[in-house]
Amino acid sequence: MVAIGLSAGAVARIRFAVSCVWEVAASVRVLRDTGDHAVHLPWVNRVRPRLRAAGLVGTDRTHGPDAADGGLLWQLIPAGPGYLPDFLTPPPGGLTPDLDAELAVLRATPPEVVRADLDLYGGARSAAVRALYADPAAGLRRIADEIAEYWRIALAPDWPRIRLLLDAEVQHRARILAENGAAGLLNDLHQQVRWEDETLSIAQRHCTAVDVADGGGLVLIPSVFVWPSVLSVAGSASVAGSASVAGGASVAGGAAAQLAYPARGVGTLWEAPRQASDTLSAVLGRGRARLLVEMRAPISTTELARRTGISAGGVSQHLAVLRAAGLVSTYRSGRSVLNTRTTVADALLTVAG
């Protein structure tokens, strides 16, 4: 358990952010040990051979961070709940993630911050890790290059659907905040997270973190690959006070706390396309029934057209009919317009089998 001070003033500084680099770090942990992340096995089985061929991941999916195979990023990120160096997950800027911008922040990490985090590193140091400690600037450039290549191979092809799910999660949480306030928001994030008496408590096995008496705010980061747990970086007054927090992150100097938590709907992310039942198709028509089946999570009209093979104009016409029937609702999230099933539609799909 770690306790982070989160006063009323700090709560006023809560914000959401979506991060490419956080997804990279969390997904590497999934590849390290798929035992706790079975929901992602379809993705793992698809991308692991490509990442291995590129030399970015090692041959043993469960060994610790002391092995020297794979890239430097692979060596630095262990399976949970091992320590994850803070400098790999700098605070993201906002709701429009930009990998290049995040990598620029990573490359600009001060050498003393890198070395302070590596002083907490638990594994035997490979030659690459020792070189990073000796020359942080060169090592950070190598890590940034590895992250860019990892992203291209493992995450970029699926990023549009991941991004839609994360945007929908932010929309959902923003509504909870508006309806129930900060307490309703924070106490609904995850079973390991609790906010009361101006303190954010994060329950985590094997956590050795010190408490942070006065946090400077909170960045909430919905994540696909952090499921089923949470990861956090807690704000602190000095780098020297760093300590492991909540399953692998640590206390960072001078920044707001970060909490990466599982977005809703992760279980639907890698599902194979389903066919609408004959009964539902007979009632609604095959095209409209197919659209309802595909709306397992909020989704754009363009993505619906891609998944179903129906033209974008045809999808729009079907959605207009479904909205008029109370089966679909539509809302704007940033530049995207997302469609989602209503509870009436969920009940209809359940009855239709």
- Residue 206: pLDDT above 70? no
- Residue 128: pLDDT above 50? yes
Mean pLDDT, residues 288-312: 88
Percent with pLDDT over 70 in the chain: 84
CA distance 196 to 198: 5
- Residue 58: pLDDT above 50? yes
- Answer with the residue of higher pLDDT: 153 or 121: 153
What is the pLDDT at residue 316?
A: 94
Confidence of residue 297 (pLDDT cuts 50, 70, 90): confident
Rounded to the nearest integer, the mean pLDDT of the chain is 82
Mean pLDDT, residues 203-214: 51
Tokens read off for 216: 């400077």
Q: How far is CA 102 from the centre of its chain?
A: 15
What is the pLDDT at residue 234?
A: 66
Q: Give yes or no for a contact between 258 and 209, defined as CB atoms under 8 angstroms apart.
A: no
Based on the number of CB atoms within 10 Å of its own CB, is 67 exposed (0-12), middle (13-18) or buried (19 or more)?
middle
3-state secondary structure of 341: strand
- Residue 124: pLDDT above 50? yes
Confidence of residue 59 (pLDDT cuts 50, 70, 90): low
**Partners of residue 196 on adjacent β-strands:** 199
What is the largest distance, in Å, between two alpha-carbon atoms of the chain? 68
- Residue 33: pLDDT above 90? no
Mean pLDDT, residues 275-281: 74
Compute how many other C-beta atoms are within 10 angstroms of the C-beta atom of residue 144.
20
